Amino acid sequence: GAGVSQSPRYKVAKRGQDVALRCDPISGHVSLFWYQQALGQGPEFLTYFQNEAQLDKSGLPSDRFFAERPEGSVSTLKIQRTQQEDSAVYLCASSFQGQTNQPQHFGDGTRLSIL
């Protein structure tokens, strides 16, 4: 498929465990974004990459959240020592070039549940 691919689609973890969420953006898209969406809310910005450079991580809720995109394509969002408040849908989006007004295209997200 040509869209943004995220895995796993669902993740259940116990409080205190570490989790890793993967995003495979649209081929050729320079910019990659992570958003967090709570139930009944719109997505909220977490972090932004242009190629392999993380240009903005201001939305990451705490230092337990870490994102990387080492080769400028696939990205991983890692959450250490998960807490119940981390339960949400994590959405990845990509665009051809981030610092323009081109639309961001979203994957279907990873639904994370922390028990």
Partner 1 sequence: EDQVTQSPEALRLQEGESSSLNCSYTVSGLRGLFWYRQDPGKGPEFLFTLYSAGEEKEKERLKATLTKKESFLHITAPKPEDSATYLCAVLLGGGGSNYKLTFGKGTLLTVNP
Q: Is 68 in the site for partner 1 (CB under 8 A)?
A: no
Q: Is 45 in the site for partner 1 (CB under 8 A)?
A: yes
**Candidates 14-22, 60-68, 70-78, 93-101; binding stretch for partner 1 (CB under 8 A):** 93-101
Q: What string of DSSP letters covers 88-106?
A: EEEEEEEES-TTSSPPPEE
Q: 14 vs 17, 39, 82, 87, 93, CA distance in Å?
A: 6, 20, 8, 11, 27
What does the block give as tokens for 81? 């020592």
**Candidates 14-22, 67-75, 80-88, 98-106; binding stretch for partner 1 (CB under 8 A):** 98-106
Q: Which residues bind partner 1 (CB under 8 A)?
A: 4, 6, 31, 33, 35, 40-45, 48, 56, 58-59, 91, 93, 98-99, 101, 103-109, 111
